Structure 1
């Protein structure tokens, strides 16, 4: 009898401990999850929203007349910009209904896009890169528009979502002879019990999608993501260092010698430093090669020649070209199609038109390949509109879970109290859970620090004052 009572007491302590961790994780994550869900859904539909929102600049009437050359269109854009504005990027799009877009760095330091009719050369207007709607939505999604601080907060939100999901699954797990409220909510229930069923069942259906969103988003985060990228690159799990430049395209030198040769042609600029809308995760930390030194006054090859070279390499549409920023710079072609296996990055000498580097998906390390797939799926690009709809459904479903969790909390809290589940009277034997949380804290150090803060606060601040509430 005593053993049976101890077993029941252990189970109750186990349940309440998990509930407390689920509560603290949810209390922090709920408002941020709503922001992530709404902004993520909107950004997922960027390809449809922006042409509709900025139709007067992005959309033109398709004509049978031939399009002007890219260099001629760039000249029209340059002529329309204020003195001191420098062209930085050309967007290449062969859709007959899309205007030509060129990005300029203004004397103020900000950037703006200039849109040109590809048939007539007429400048259709400009659009601030930093202040356009989708850029603001992306900034909200990544960092609440609060810079580095916001990025750290959103990174923590992602990590704590993993805790919330893990404890939520454990709390949902069917107990004894339970049959209802497992895979479908019991709609006949009323009050807080109804909200609990909707929250638990909805959460279990969304759990896999939520974990995928977190794991595919964290490599792009401002703190852990940068450290992970550096580690993956140095360990050649991201982009293999030796597959560079002429060593990759033509050389028969041994890998070590080829890598050393490639390093002599590079300066300190990395791909992430280029003014591109987005670069593949795998190549972000790879160096950008220098162009070959030339006699003063040597002419730069035209933008049309770079487009022709890209086409010869199998890149025909939907890519960006970063323009040389100095006499030592290069043209950089960045191609991020819906299918990550076709990703390409080309560096082209601005004077000779020589292909200095050709970085393809096959050159990525295994981890970087997985992240490329994850990014394409995360952004709703991999299988078109259906991918966008699936992402939107998961995102909005997670927002609904945050709302139902808030309602449950509001219904059970007594006026002015925090409403946290009471700490169990006895310590639950949860070695596996403690080990798992410890490992999570080691992998994500910033999260580990906050877990320690929560643990200390729970004992020193809230203590046993948290009211006991029934489950």
Structure 2
């Protein structure tokens, strides 16, 4: 009897020890992932806030140029375009962006001969040019840092690793936060003010992290969908349109991403990798007109390509007949380019993603070539169209307020994690002091396997985790001088 009792007690003790070991596994992974993720999380939150309030910042800087006095009638868009072409004869006019409000000026996006992008503001009631705004502004800088750290593909990969590891951080954090025993239940949805600094900061960090976890996962997934490997090579590639959509349509070697301005996302996510259709003057002109057009293009400076201004009115009328409520017009920038009418949530044009629409029009015949809309989107594309407006705070004041609070909380979670480490670290210790490695190495390997399986869908996270495993097994635990730094 006593032997059986001792056996049961031993089994219970072993089970309890396994739970503690697994907790330390999760904590150790949480710690190592946090080392990499924390600075990136703070950077993403800060730059995200700058972009969130980009329109307000721009209005404060350029309010005297942006705001106009509404009148009873407007000048034709073609006359506005002609005024811009006259004022900037050596620049390429790339896009016409009608104002969203009656007291704001219309915009024409231009590319100057030096390659820089500018918005030219036109008073749509008088036809007068009222100023210009450099597109390489604070918003553009924040956007570039947010996406590439200003170092191109390398920055994109580093941010992708950080965002992928943040999912590992989120999973391990939820495991540690979720109540398992009396100790963990004591701090679940509670802030213990009388239990010392470590417990106080732990409760703040864990509860705010737990409450915001689903929001964080949403931001990570929508952000990763634009990353170079997981987004560009996997998910985005699976969400393009079937070949039948392009049946009989001549296409360019350019993709829709070519319409983006630098790192700014102006094109719907699932269209970025889709090929651009082309305008074919041979199919739309008689031989004599085609020859004259070719000669005209040969004599034009190669630094710019301007369309006939009056054609803009025709294209706008087409868009109105097609049922657009609001739309912007991308102009052809070469003799095979097309007019593109678009209204989408990614650009902040509209707030209803089911109304996303992109239409391409032949620049010669003014006939519709291809029409992309919500019904053509794959499942992931619909998720992105619906989610990106929420990610960017475009769905109203409540969305902006929510995103502001979330960014501040994400930064607090990151900083509080560092504070918790500092309070736990022995005074004066010149080492990292991560959570101890469980002695049951078999169980530790199981935990590592779980993490690898969890992150296998995110290649850059898998690469980082394998690197961390090798570092922990080969270097940190086997080289005494290094081991002392991390104990």
* Cα drift, residue 431 of structure 1: 7.5
Q: Deviations over 1:429-450 (max 9, x none)?
A: 3677444422344322222111
SS in 1 for 2:201: helix
The two structures have a TM-score, normalised by structure 2, of 0.86
Runs of 4+ in 1 over 6 A off after TM superposition: none
Query: Measured at CA, do residues 462 and 8 of structure 1 come closer, stay the same or move farther in structure 2, by a change above 3 Å?
Result: same
Residues 1:330 and 2:330 are matched in the alignment: no
1:9-408 matches, cutoff 5 A: 9-64=17-72, 66-81=73-88, 83-93=89-99, 95-129=101-135, 131-178=136-183, 179-233=185-239, 238-244=240-246, 259=247, 261-262=248-249, 265-275=250-260, 278-293=266-281, 294=285, 295-296=289-290, 297=292, 300=308, 302-317=311-326, 319-336=327-344, 337-382=350-395, 384-408=396-420
Q: Deviations over 1:230-257 (max 9, x none)?
A: 5314xxxx4233234xxxxxxxxxxxxx
Query: Measured at CA, do residues 420 and 307 of structure 1 come closer, stay the same or move farther in structure 2, by a change above 3 Å?
Result: same
* Cα drift, residue 146 of structure 1: 2.1
Query: Measured at CA, do residues 419 and 434 of structure 1 come closer, stay the same or move farther in structure 2, by a change above 3 Å?
Result: closer
Residues 1:422 and 2:416 are matched in the alignment: no
- Tell me the distance in 1 between the aligned counterparts of 2:445 and 2:215: 27
* Cα drift, residue 221 of structure 1: 1.4
* Cα drift, residue 25 of structure 1: 0.8
The two structures have a TM-score, normalised by structure 1, of 0.88
Q: Deviations over 1:139-170 (max 9, x none)?
A: 12112222211111111111011011100111
Q: Deviations over 1:120-143 (max 9, x none)?
A: 2222222222x2111111112112
Query: Measured at CA, do residues 433 and 310 of structure 1 come closer, stay the same or move farther in structure 2, by a change above 3 Å?
Result: farther
* Cα drift, residue 324 of structure 1: 0.8
Tell whether the 8 Å contact from 2:168 to 2:455 is kept in structure 1 after alignment. no
- Tell me the distance in 1 between the aligned counterparts of 2:201 and 2:236: 44
Residue matched to 2:302:
none
* Cα drift, residue 102 of structure 1: 0.9
- Tell me the distance in 1 between the aligned counterparts of 2:95 and 2:229: 27
Tell whether the 8 Å contact from 2:27 to 2:176 is kept in structure 1 after alignment. yes
Query: Measured at CA, do residues 432 and 71 of structure 1 come closer, stay the same or move farther in structure 2, by a change above 3 Å?
Result: farther
- Tell me the distance in 1 between the aligned counterparts of 2:368 and 2:18: 67
Residues 1:413 and 2:425 are matched in the alignment: yes
* Cα drift, residue 468 of structure 1: 9.2
Which of the two has greater helix per residue?
2
Query: Measured at CA, do residues 230 and 212 of structure 1 come closer, stay the same or move farther in structure 2, by a change above 3 Å?
Result: closer
SS in 1 for 2:441: coil
Tell whether the 8 Å contact from 1:13 to 1:428 is kept in structure 2 after alignment. no
SS in 1 for 2:182: coil
- Tell me the distance in 2 between the aligned counterparts of 1:56 and 1:433: 59
Structure 2: which 5+ residue stretches go unaligned?
A: 1-8, 294-306, 345-349
SS in 2 for 1:302: helix
Query: Measured at CA, do residues 205 and 53 of structure 1 come closer, stay the same or move farther in structure 2, by a change above 3 Å?
Result: same
Structure 1: which 5+ residue stretches go unaligned?
A: 245-258
- Tell me the distance in 2 between the aligned counterparts of 1:434 and 1:412: 24
Tell whether the 8 Å contact from 2:96 to 2:109 is kept in structure 1 after alignment. yes
- Tell me the distance in 1 between the aligned counterparts of 2:235 and 2:330: 22
Query: Measured at CA, do residues 137 and 467 of structure 1 come closer, stay the same or move farther in structure 2, by a change above 3 Å?
Result: closer
Q: Deviations over 1:3-38 (max 9, x none)?
A: 333223322221111111000111111111111112
**How large is the Cα RMSD of the aligned pairs?**
2.2
Choose 1 or 2 for highest CA Rg: 2
- Tell me the distance in 2 between the aligned counterparts of 1:387 and 1:172: 27
Residue matched to 1:250:
none
> Which stretch has the larger CA shift, 292-301 or 447-456?
292-301
* Cα drift, residue 186 of structure 1: 1.4
Query: Measured at CA, do residues 316 and 155 of structure 1 come closer, stay the same or move farther in structure 2, by a change above 3 Å?
Result: same
